[in-house]
Amino acid sequence: MFKKLLIASACFLGSLTFAQAQRQCGTPDVEQMLSISPKELREKFHKIEDHTTDFVRNFKQDKNTGVIIIPVVVHVVYNNTAQNITDAMIQSQINILNADFRRTNADKTNTPSAFAGVASDFEIEFKMATRDPQGNPTTGITRTSTTKTFFEYGGADAQGVFVKQATTGGKDAWDPRYYLNMWVCNFGGASADLLGYATFPTDAGTFKDGVVMSYKYFGLNPTLGGVYGYGRTTTHEVGHWLNLRHIWGDANCGNDQVTDTPTQQTSNGGCPAFPKTSCSNGANGDMFMNYMDYTNDQCMNMFTAGQKARGRALFATGGVRATFLASQGLGGGTTACPTALNTPAGLTSSAVTTNTATVAWTAVSGATSYNVNFKTTASTTWSNVTSATTSTSLTGLLASTAYEYRVQAVCGTTLSAFSANGTLTTTAAAVAYCASKGNSVADEWIGAVRLARSTTTIFSNTSGANAGYGNFTATAYTVGLGNALTITITPAWKATKYNEGYSVWIDYNRDGDFADAGEQVTSQAITQVTPITKSFTVPATASLGTTRMRVSMKYNGVPTACEAISYGEVEDYTLNIVTTAREAMEQSAGASTDFILYPNPAADKVTVRFENTVEQNKGTITIANAQGQIIKTQEFDAQELGMIEQIIDLQGVQKGFYLVKVSAEGLKEVRKLVVRNE
């Protein structure tokens, strides 16, 4: 079921939105924002919405034909070397934005066929500025060393603006009428789990206008995994900057003011299976793969035509971001594309490894970006990445495999022919990860292994010579989905024949190999016996039952085959992480339908209804305001299983937005509550 655009609805989403570790935005509820916003801001909101409505109605007459180019400046505000991210990492994020907004992302093939018809090329691209506001050449990157160890949205910095001002340890914006300002910094304090936040167009042209991101989640960082490591948080936040709302409309079965996104009950997390239905939205269910939902990075893959129309309205005549079309940040605004483009040539490859390679080509005059296809020579299906420069990195390649690649120049809807195919062959994989436990005591591993959940030891093996890690095998440990797990290994080597060193590998994503980024915990000389610690979280999307983790040792500098090692004997040591049904249920994605607040909005009283599944003496219900201050606490008797209803008196509670939290053993639920006490 698709929504109808409610022209008369005035849903003010506020000037800031942010995503936390569970991709929860802190934007106050619509009703509250309308009640507390200054009159001038409300009027600006209505003006933007009226303009957007008129534009959407006549979208086919959009006069800004072709691709709109947005000059970007990235302000890196850092306190240490790790926070001072590289130019390459910044460019990787720009590449991701362009792939997502132009729908050249490789994972677009994951869009269900039911939604493929409305999936859209936004025809907006992002380029690093080449001219600063004073007319000087620039890379589009500023770097500011700060004495502040972190920034926050909330706490002492209620509006999240300290990073945007030099006087408060940050960096002043470049003219926001002509540049998309992005600040990259470290978050902490009240925002320790913050991924990023952005302004809506109601702040267009002000010093606050732009996107703020944690340095940890800006750019392509596969070591973080598929949840936050693929740059989709920035795509989501730039969507807000382009006037897109959360796809569920920030309300139960709410309205995001877009006609071709299905109504859905609330946000989705993780990677739901298609279809996932709610709000009677029909056989196709939620559009959880939309960038404006809260699913994992690797599960997002589309914007819709309706979202495109809403975003491009900002750049039409009378739109609050129309000034970008006159920006000199790139020497011009909207690209005037030629009618034809030359075919790229001069293809080269470099930095070829077992699973990555860099390919490059000569620039094509008039091109604003390039499509790069690649495939194994044995395959008939091409994969695609987009690059705004004349080189790009190919990742996820297979070892010892021949590949073909080709390049196409792009400017708006003008495409060149593909180049002649270039070729490359990836290097051989490292020798198999052989844990050599020889046939004599002289070749034994000696060491200790400690397996812990948080700080509590749940297994310890301190066996010595002639035992190795044998006692660590085939032992089950109950660890709930989403729980933190730490492995500490203290190995030593008794023999000297193969004493080049050792490495520890953990197959923590459970795919049966150790070929993924981040799975080599450490490598050190054999003379060292420093404990090695690896911490990770058992994925919340793991299947019930046994999840295998593997710990193996290997030589550094071993021969090309394990059999060439004297006394060689392959050994894998396995942790069997067993998850429980109850913990799986608690960690499952999506909100529980067994926890209800009514009425909501409420006035003098609110009823809290939820299911109790664990017999216990007491539980508590708390109500906290937007600053996290608890203003109401009420205990409940939890000795009976089943549905519990509690009525909370709201006498004295001021009008506004609140969070209601139910806490008891095995139970933790949070919901939004709007109080209107007039």
Structure tokens at 504: 């520890």
Q: Which residues contact 86 (CB under 8 A, 6 or more apart)?
A: none
Q: How far apart are CA 663 and CA 618, in angstroms?
A: 9
Q: Contact 391/520 with Cβ under 8 angstroms? A: no
For residue 204, with 0-12 CB atoms within 10 Å meaning exposed, 13-18 middle and 19 or more buried, which class applies?
A: buried
Q: How far apart are CA 63 and CA 61, in angstroms?
A: 6
Q: Contact 594/630 with Cβ under 8 angstroms? A: no
Q: Distances from the Cα of 637 to the Cαs of 581, 595, 617, 650, 663, in angstroms?
A: 25, 17, 6, 20, 12
Q: How far apart are CA 104 and CA 113, in angstroms?
A: 17
Closest CA to 100 of 255, 239, 195, 216: 239
Q: Contact 570/643 with Cβ under 8 angstroms? A: no
* DSSP three-state, residue 537: strand
Q: Contact 219/185 with Cβ under 8 angstroms? A: no
Catalytic residue among 237, 519, 586, 669: 237
Structure tokens at 12: 């003010």
Q: How far apart are CA 336 and CA 344, in angstroms?
A: 20
Angle between helices 232-241 and 87-102 in degrees, nearest 10: 60
Q: Which residues contact 596 (CB under 8 A, 6 or more apart)?
A: 608, 609, 610
The residue behind tokens 């609330």 is 266
Q: How far apart are CA 287 and CA 263, in angstroms?
A: 9
For residue 532, with 0-12 CB atoms within 10 Å meaning exposed, 13-18 middle and 19 or more buried, which class applies?
A: buried
**71 forms bridges with which residues in the sheet?**
127
DSSP 209-268: -SEEEEGGGSSB-GGG-TTTTBSHHHHHHHHHHTTPPPTTTTSTT---S-TTSB--SS--
444 belongs to the catalytic site? no
Q: Could you count the other beta carbons within 10 Å of the beta carbon of residue 226?
A: 16
DSSP 428-469: PPPPP------SSGGG-EEEEEEEEETTEEEEEE---TTTTT
Q: What share of the chain is helix, strand, coil (3-state, %, to 5)?
A: 15, 30, 50
Which stretches does DSSP call E strand in 494-571?
502-506, 520-524, 532-537, 545-555
Return the active site residues. Answer: 237
